Amino acid sequence: MPELPEVETVRRGLAPALVGAHFDLVEQRRADLRFPFPPDFAGRLTGRRVTALRRRAKYLLADLDDGEALVMHLGMSGSFRIADSADESTPGLFHNSRGKDDAHDHVVFHLSNGKRITYNDPRRFGFMLLIKSDLVAAHPLFRDVGIEPLGDDLDGATLARLFAGKKAPLKAALLDQSLVAGLGNIYVSEALHRAGLSPRRAAGTLTRKNGTPTASADLLAKAIHEVLDEAIAAGGSSLRDHRQANGDLGYFQHSFRVYDRAAAPCPRPGCGGTIKRIVQSGRASFYCNTCQK
């Protein structure tokens, strides 16, 4: 499943082509993806102008000039290609071959600016919905979603408030989408290593008895920001099926300190420990039990 940096990378790649353009033609090539398309999906989009493209957690939302929002989720293998109407090739340099089998091109948006955006999804775990923009926050997909980790809302004090009294492991608390939106397995592992915190540690230990944040809470908030910002700048991680909107691979996977590096030496200077792999709630956690406490 693409994580927040991958989805944000796709948003930034799509925005220049999509925002301000009208949907001249929408090709809907099947009745459903993970879920059925909304009734009259193509008809409701045709002629509409995209006024903004935003991200909430791991969802993309294209706001339309009629007050609706096109909600898009990439699932495990969904991706977008951008091309000029006169050129079938996708902009960007491909480092690995990328599936272009039109059997998996399920939606094609023909835009008024001459661009063509194709949604390809071999596994069909992604989906698209149409929701009134002013009702998005109350929709079941979004009403219980926590704070966004990229903005100023996430700091040590916020983590202390969210985790107060929680006995759950820190890794599980960070993956709880009702607390913090969009964090996934990869970047939680990386942030915890940077902050020197064990994924096994009780989340409530980041909060003092008076409710204020510990130094560890401040370190973790800073580490989350740093990891996400660096991953977005690098274009995400491109594990498995993920690609940027221009087709390029991301390169943050080359900067992983712990994720998928079991048995490797800990990269923290002077540590001397070894990266270990454990399973928590069915998810692999990678950490150094020497320097992460």
> 3-state DSSP call for residue 31?
coil
Q: Could you confirm whether 132 is annotated as catalytic?
A: no
The enclosing H or E element of 173 equals: helix 170-175
- Catalytic member of 12, 34, 201, 283: 283
Q: Could you confirm whether 166 is annotated as catalytic?
A: no
- Catalytic member of 11, 56, 58, 116: 58
- Catalytic member of 3, 8, 68, 190: 3
Q: Could you confirm whether 222 is annotated as catalytic?
A: no
The enclosing H or E element of 84 equals: strand 79-84
- Catalytic member of 2, 149, 169, 213: 2
Other beta carbons within 10 Å of 240: 9
Please tell me the distance from the alpha carbon of residue 142 to that of residue 219, in angstroms, as a whole number: 28
Q: Could you confirm whether 58 is annotated as catalytic?
A: yes
Strand partners, 49: 22
Angstrom distances, CA of residue 125 to CA of 1, 2, 54, 78, 284: 10, 12, 21, 7, 22
Question: What angle is formed at CA 51 by the lines to CA 79 and CA 138, rounded to 5 degrees?
Answer: 80
Pair 96, 251: CB distance under 8 Å: no
Q: Which residue pairs from 44-49 have beta carbons closer than 8 angstroms and sit at least 24 positions apart in sequence?
A: 44/68, 44/130, 45/70, 45/109, 45/130, 47/22, 47/23, 48/22, 48/23, 49/20, 49/21, 49/22
Find, among 25, 30, 17, 36, the residue nearest to 122 by Cα: 30
Find, among 224, 214, 205, the residue nearest to 163 by Cα: 205
Catalytic positions: 2-3, 58, 283
